[in-house]
Amino acid sequence: MNLGKYQNCACRKMGNTQPLCLEVLTLGEQGKQVRLMPKAGEQAVAVVLDGCVLCDNQPKCDGLFLWQGNQRNAAVLVELKGAGDIPHAFEQLAYMQRYRQEYRELVDYLHVEARGRVMEKAVVVTNGMLSKPERERLEDHHGIRVMAVLHCEATSPIPDLRDYL
C-alpha cells in the first residue's frame, strides 16, 4: 500500500525500527496490543504515528491501520492507553481527526489507491474499564464516535480490528 513520504513508518515483516510494531500488522506497548488481520482479497498496513509520522508536542495517537476490503475501505486510528488515562485518549483521537494534516494525507493515500470512500474510525485499547454512559459522555464532549473501547492486557488475547469492520 502506498504511504508516500510516510512509507518508512509502516510496520514490516522484518527490520522494524519502530518499537510500536510488534509484528507486520500488530501495534502494541506496555501490554496493550491490537492487530488487524485481513481476509483473503483484503490488504492492510499498520502505521506508527507517534514518534514516526508525528514527532512534535501536539496531541497525537499511537497508530493507524489502513484497510482495503472488497468494496469497503477504512482508516482506523488507534490509541493505546493505561486505565487511568482513558479520557485523554478521546481528546487525542478527536484532535487527530480534526487538525492533523498528516492523518488527512494518509487517508487521502488510501482514498486514491482504493478508489472509493474511506470510513474513518477510532479505537481505544486499554487495560481499564469504561462504562457506556462515561463513553457516551466522552464522545459527546470531544465530538467523536469511537468504534470500540477494547480491553487488552499482557495476558489476554490480542483484539483483532477485523472483527469491527
- pLDDT tens-digit series, residues 38-50: 999 999 999 999 9
Q: Can you give the pLDDT at residue 54?
A: 97
Alpha-carbon 133 to chain mean position: 23
Q: Model-level pTM greater than 0.85?
A: yes
Q: Is 60 exposed, middle or buried (0-12, 13-18, 19+ CB in 10 A)?
A: buried
Q: Are 50 and 100 in contact (CB under 8 A)?
A: no
Q: Can you give the pLDDT at residue 84?
A: 85
| For the chain, counts of helices (H) and of strands (E) | 3, 8
Q: Can you give the pLDDT at residue 14?
A: 86
Q: Are 99 and 111 in contact (CB under 8 A)?
A: no
Query: How is residue 119 annotated by DSSP?
Result: E
- Residues of the chain with pLDDT > 90: what percent? 85
Tell me the three cell numbers of residue 75: 482508516
Q: Can you give the pLDDT at residue 124?
A: 97
Q: Can you give the pLDDT at residue 154?
A: 83
